Amino acid sequence: MAPKVMKKASPGRLLKQPLRHRFFALRHGESKANVAKIIISDPKVGTKKYGLTKAGRAAVKRTGARFIKSASSRVVIVSSDFARARETAQVFAKTLRKAGLRCPVQLSTALRERRFGSLEGGSDSRYNEVWSKDRRNAAARPFGAESAKELEDVVFVVAGRGTQASSTQIFVPILISATFINVIINGPSMNVY
């Protein structure tokens, strides 16, 4: 499963100030949890285990090589500290650095995987049950999961911090899960792709 680079965000609400930078949402590469088809959202597990597979690392390198074509000389990567996102950030940054780009990586606990409550460690086929409930009520917390509304709030806080960070043009790939990307694109009442 290749990481996805999304160039255009259409959040469900507007930031208080306009964005000064270009933001990209980049999903982590294929992880060991993806292969095992399990939900890993607990930081006690996800920050230490279930990093990228060999195929996941290769896909991130290819994505980084494509990204270079549109990047400026300054790229700041903001990533979840989950192993799969952190490793994606490291591989992506290394690819960009080889091309001569400055590329610091910042880890953010705010961008951790959405907590899926009682579904933790279970089959990833149950994601659709949560997303179905999200579409009906963005504030719902099915199975004790974080709500889609809470995820939207995180996206706006992180984007707002990035906007305040510098007045120079930078590219900010944010390494996150598919659920976050859905919230960025569709707002909290997301239509899951």
Q: How far is residue 171's CA from residue 152's CA, in Å, rounded to a whole number?
A: 21
- 117 carries a ligand binding annotation: no
Query: Per this entry, what is the length of the chain?
Result: 193
Q: Which residue is catalytic, options 21, 28, 146, 152?
A: 28
**Is position 27 annotated in a ligand binding site?**
yes
DSSP at 100: T
Question: Is 191 a known ligand-binding residue?
Answer: no
Burial 145-154 (b: 16+ CB within 10 A, else e): bbbbbbbbeb
- The token duo for 99 is 């091309």
Catalytic pick among 21, 87, 113, 120:
113
Q: Are strands 77-79 and 171-176 parallel, antiparallel or unpaired?
A: parallel
21 in catalytic set: no
Is 66 labeled as ligand-binding?
no
28 flagged as catalytic: yes
Tell me: is residue 33 an annotated ligand-binding position.
yes
Quickly tell me which residue has 């598919």 as its tokens: 178
115 is in an annotated binding site: no
For residue 30, say whether it is annotated as part of any ligand binding site. yes
- Binding annotation for substrate: 27-34, 84
- Binding annotation: 27-34, 84
Active-site amino acid positions? 28, 113
